[in-house]
Amino acid sequence: MDYGFRGAHSGSMETFESLVRAEFAPKNTYLNTASTGLLPDRTVTALRIAVEAAAAGRPTDMFADVEASRASFARLAKVPGRRVAAGASVAVYSGLIAASLPEGAEVLTAEHDFSSVVNPFHVRSDLKVRAVPLERLAESVRPGTALVAVSAAQSADGRVADLPAIREAAREHGARTYVDASQAAGWLDLDADAHDYTACVAFKWLVCPRGVAFLVVPEDLGGLTPLFAGWVAGEHPWDACYGPIDELAHSARRFDESPALFSYAGARRSLELLEELGVDAVRAHDLALADRFRAGLASLGHEPVPSPGSPIVSVPGLGRRQGELSSAGVEVSDRAGNLRAAFHLYNTLADVDRLLDVLSA
């Protein structure tokens, strides 16, 4: 099995390949991580153990799994764990940030960005939401802009936002930044410290079970009010089960949703694997496969949406072939009429060539 590395140290190649081969054995050509990532074997095992223990009346301490997952994501995002909230949904965290804005505040977004990022701002009728093309986002920040909200990588076509330029423009005009890393965390070199807020679901490129999401907030907690604070948001959760909470958590944990514990039992192991593999190695692997696909498309006379530096490749006009590809054992997505292929750590050169073979038929 060739995982597509060129010029890397052979020892690191073997380590990456052996780890991946030990954890993943897809039965088809799965190129749909932008929808849902595959679960590692260690994660499946952890889920099974947790479920069986609960069924037997011997539940494990899955709150420890939440804390281990929080710490692991914090390391991947390059921030202290105290700045990370654990939940289940980007939309919930977008809504939390939307609720913090004053009446009449302007929110700048990218056109056609994912609904979980932008819709919570639209449902507040007293906010001014302005959408511009992704490529013009930085230049469109202006005096009076309160928040810039954008996906690090676009769900529909994989285009990567110019986050440094957006950050600098926002700082120049006194705006905050909110980045959804759901299509980027796991392969992009994510530095959440560079932004005011960063949210991310973990069931895609972080290969976690559904029901896991994270929010990174500033050291000062970003002026957010914990509107959905339950007992887990208390500084001492087990003393906060009844009545009003006397003392909210001093950290971002005050923004925790009541956790889907079984999901976190698995997430702990998935995030552990990504730390072992290293995001740099995953990115090199993923982008090599995506570039091979782009080159193959050119030979077939197709031109994808330009998305340099992204493992997501979207091909206009080919979305109609998604059903045919699925019948042939190749899983991709149909997004707005485009065929969307997403290449991740468990994919191989053979997967790319299989997709091109079916498309050429």
Residue 151, pLDDT > 70, answer yes
Provide the number of structural domains found in the chain.
Answer: 2
Residue 1, pLDDT > 80, answer no
CA nearest neighbour of 131 among 113, 114, 144, 155: 113
Are 239 and 92 in a shared domain?
A: yes
**Which residue did the predictor score with more confidence, 330 or 6?**
330
Whole-number mean pLDDT of the chain?
95
Over residues 200-215, the pLDDT tens digits come to: 999 999 999 999 999 9
What integer pLDDT is reported at residue 4 of this predicted model? 36
Assign residue 26 the CATH number of its domain: 3.90.1150.10
Q: How far is 153 from 311, CA to CA, in rounded Å?
A: 10
Are 20 and 99 in a shared domain?
A: no
In a domain, 57, yes or no: no
Are 189 and 335 in a shared domain?
A: no
The proportion of the chain whose per-residue pLDDT surpasses 70, expressed as a percent, equals: 96
In a domain, 214, yes or no: yes
In a domain, 45, yes or no: no
What integer pLDDT is reported at residue 7 of this predicted model? 34
10-14, 44-48, 198-202, 229-233: segment of lowest average pLDDT: 10-14
Over residues 19-60, the pLDDT tens digits come to: 999 999 999 999 999 999 999 999 999 999 999 999 999 988
Are 299 and 337 in a shared domain?
A: yes
How would you list the strands of the sheet with 333-335, edge to edge? Answer: 312-316, 338-342, 333-335
258, 86 Cβ separation under 8 angstroms: no
Are 177 and 322 in a shared domain?
A: no
What integer pLDDT is reported at residue 59 of this predicted model? 83
Q: Which of 250, 275, 300 is the last residue of a domain?
A: 275
Domain carrying residue 224: 62-275
Q: What pTM was estimated for this model as a whole? A: 0.94
- Dihedral (C-alpha) 219, 222, 223, 225: value to the nearest 10 degrees? -100
Are 83 and 126 in a shared domain?
A: yes
The proportion of the chain whose per-residue pLDDT surpasses 90, expressed as a percent, equals: 94
Residue 155 sits at the vertex; the CA angle it makes with 161 and 262, to the nearest 5 degrees, is 115
Are 87 and 235 in a shared domain?
A: yes
Over residues 319-336, the pLDDT tens digits come to: 999 999 999 999 999 998
In a domain, 55, yes or no: no
Are 140 and 248 in a shared domain?
A: yes
9, 17 Cβ separation under 8 angstroms: no
Are 148 and 134 in a shared domain?
A: yes
Other C-beta atoms closer than 10 Å to the C-beta of 51 total 13
Q: Which of 206, 240, 275 is the last residue of a domain?
A: 275
Q: How far is 170 from 139, CA to CA, in rounded Å?
A: 10
214, 81 Cβ separation under 8 angstroms: no
What integer pLDDT is reported at residue 11 of this predicted model? 53
